[in-house]
Structure 1
C-alpha cells in the first residue's frame, strides 16, 4: 500500500495551458485520500527543489551545533508559541529537537543567522509553502463542494501560520519512537523530509511508510478540516519512527487558522443534510493552548493528552 502522489502542475499553469482532465484526476485523487485517511503527496507544487534541498542541508548544519550555541536561539518571552530553538522535555515520549518559526517579520522569530544564509532560506521557503497552502485550500474547497472561495474567506487571516525545522535523534537499543501517534490540530500540514524517512500514516489499522522522494511534499489534513467537514474528511493519524545511527531531518509547515476563529461543523455538513454535528464549537486558540501543554507538560499517560476528541459529541 502506498500514499497517493498528486501532480499539481495543471493548477499552476496559465489558464490556456491547463488540462481539465489533469485537474479532475488530481481533485478526485485528493478527495478519495482525504475521505479515507487524510494523507497524500504532491509534486510540481511550485516550491523550488534547490530551495528545499538547501533548507534541509542548512538545518542539518544548525542542529549539529553545540547545545550552548543552539540555546542562544531559545524562545523569547511574549510569543504566542515558543518560537526559536526547543528540545522535548526528558519525560516526553517524543525524541526530537526543533526550531519553530512564524511568518517573516512577525516579531516573534528568534532565527539563527548561522549557518550563513539559513534565515533567508527558511523565510523564502515559508512564503512558498504558504502559497502551496492557499492552493491546497482551494482544491479542498472544491473537493468538499463548498461555495467558491468559501474556505479562503473563512481562513483569510494568515498570522498564525508557522513552520518548524526538526531533528529526530537516532534510535536506541530499547526505543525507536520519534514522535508518537497523533493528529495535527491545524487545517493542513506540509512536510519536507530528508532521505532517512520514518514518517508513517495509519490506514485501516495498518502503518504505511511514507517513502522519501526528491521534490515531493507530504500533505496531511488536521483537526480543523475534520471538524468543519463533520468527519467527511479525516485528520491524518501519523507518527515518526527512528532508525539506529541515523538522525532524521524534516521541515513541517502548519497552514492554520487565526486564534480567535470559531471552529465548528459547517451547516453544509449538518443542518443542510439533516446530519447531527459531531463536535462542539470552540475557539481555535483554546484548543491550541491545550495541545501546547501536551508538549510542555507531557501527561504521565499518552492517552491522557488532549486531542480533538475533547470536543466530540457522543
Structure 2
C-alpha cells in the first residue's frame, strides 16, 4: 500500500555541533525517501520562515498587478534566456504565469519594480536556497556512499542555478491542470508552496498529494542524480493540480548543472558492483536542448515528449 504522505526530515542536526546521531537519522530518512519516492520535505533547513512568508506575500502582490504592470518585467524579445515575467500561452497544457530569475547579479535578470522591495527579497531567498542546496547535496553525497565533496566538485558552478516564482490560475470546469506530469531535468529541486497546495507525486501508479506546511520545503531528486546513481535515487513523475476559485502560488529553486558537463552512471553504481549502466552518457546541454524542444515544438502526443528515457539502454538487447 502506498503511504499517504512523503517523508519529512529535520535538518537541525546539521546546524548543531556534535549531533551525529541526529545527522545519521536524517541521512537514513533521506536515503530511504530518495530510493522509494524521489521526494521528501525538510524542516529546520536554514531558510528563515519570515523570509519565506515575505517572499510568498510579495509574489502574490506582484501577480495581482494589472497585466500592463507585470509586462514591464518581461525579458527583451532577443534575450538569450527568458528571465523576468512570462505567461504561458492560452493553448498551453500548463496554465500559469511566472517570474524567472538567475543568481543575484546575473545580467539576464529583469526585476519587478512593483512591489519595490521584491527584488531585495528575491535576491535574499535565492542565496538561502543556494546554501540549502549545497547542504542537501552534501547529504546526498553521503547517502550515496560517494567520496566527501564528490558532487560539490562535480557540480561546483552555482551560476547555472535558477528560481521561478509561479502563479497558477484557478481551475475551470473542464480543466484543472497546473503543470502536467513530468520529471525535472536538473540535479535537485526545492519547492516552497503556499497553503493552497496542489503538488502531487506519483508512486506505484497512485498520486500522493504533498500537503503544504508553512515551515517546510519540498525536495525532489531530478534526472542528473537519477542517472549518476544508475537509478538508485529516483527522479519521480509529479504534477500540479489547480484548485477551483483560488490561485496557487509557489517558488521552485532548481539546483542545476553547467551545460558542458558529461552525465553518465558512475562506476560506483555500475562496474564496481557488477551492475550494467542503465543510461548512455550525454552532455547536459544536449539533454536540455531536447527538453526545450518539447516546449517550443510540443509533440502531437504527450507520450512522445523527450525525457531521460531517451538515453535509456535496453538491457534486454545486450543481455
Is residue 6 of structure 1 aligned with residue 9 of structure 2? Answer: yes
280-289 or 98-107, which deviates more: 280-289
Structure 1 length-normalised TM: 0.96
Aligned-pair distance for 1:76? 3.1
The answer on whether the counterparts of 1:193 and 1:212 sit within 8 Å (CA) in structure 2 is: yes
Aligned-pair distance for 1:149? 0.8
Distance 1:27 1:43 in 2: 14
Structure 2 length-normalised TM: 0.95
Aligned-pair distance for 1:195? 0.5
Is residue 65 of structure 1 aligned with residue 65 of structure 2? Answer: yes
The answer on whether the counterparts of 1:92 and 1:295 sit within 8 Å (CA) in structure 2 is: no
Aligned-pair distance for 1:125? 0.2
Unaligned runs of 5+ in 1: none
Provide the residue aligned with 2:267 in structure 1.
267
Distance 1:89 1:277 in 2: 39
Aligned-pair distance for 1:86? 1.3
Post-superposition, which runs of at least 4 consecutive aligned residues in structure 1 deviate over 6 A? Answer: none
CA RMSD of aligned residues (A): 1.2
Evaluate the alpha carbon distance shift between residue 276 and residue 77 of structure 1 in structure 2; reply closer, same or farther with a 3 A threshold.
farther
Q: What is the DSSP-based 3-state SS (H/G/I as helix, E as strand, rest coil) of the residue aligned with 1:34? A: helix
Evaluate the alpha carbon distance shift between residue 77 and residue 267 of structure 1 in structure 2; reply closer, same or farther with a 3 A threshold.
farther
Provide the residue aligned with 2:297 in structure 1.
297
The answer on whether the counterparts of 2:6 and 2:37 sit within 8 Å (CA) in structure 1 is: no
Provide the residue aligned with 1:172 in structure 2.
172
Provide the residue aligned with 2:223 in structure 1.
223
Distance 2:76 2:303 in 1: 31
Distance 1:113 1:229 in 2: 43
Aligned-pair distance for 1:272? 1.0
Is residue 211 of structure 1 aligned with residue 214 of structure 2? Answer: no
The answer on whether the counterparts of 1:280 and 1:311 sit within 8 Å (CA) in structure 2 is: yes
Provide the residue aligned with 1:83 in structure 2.
83
Provide the residue aligned with 2:278 in structure 1.
278
Structure 1, residues 20-75: CA drift from partner, whole Å, max 9, x if none? Answer: 11111110000001001200000000000011000010111111112222122222
Q: What is the DSSP-based 3-state SS (H/G/I as helix, E as strand, rest coil) of the residue aligned with 1:208? A: strand
Is residue 133 of structure 1 aligned with residue 136 of structure 2? Answer: no
Aligned-pair distance for 1:293? 2.5
Unaligned runs of 5+ in 2: 315-319
Provide the residue aligned with 2:317 in structure 1.
none
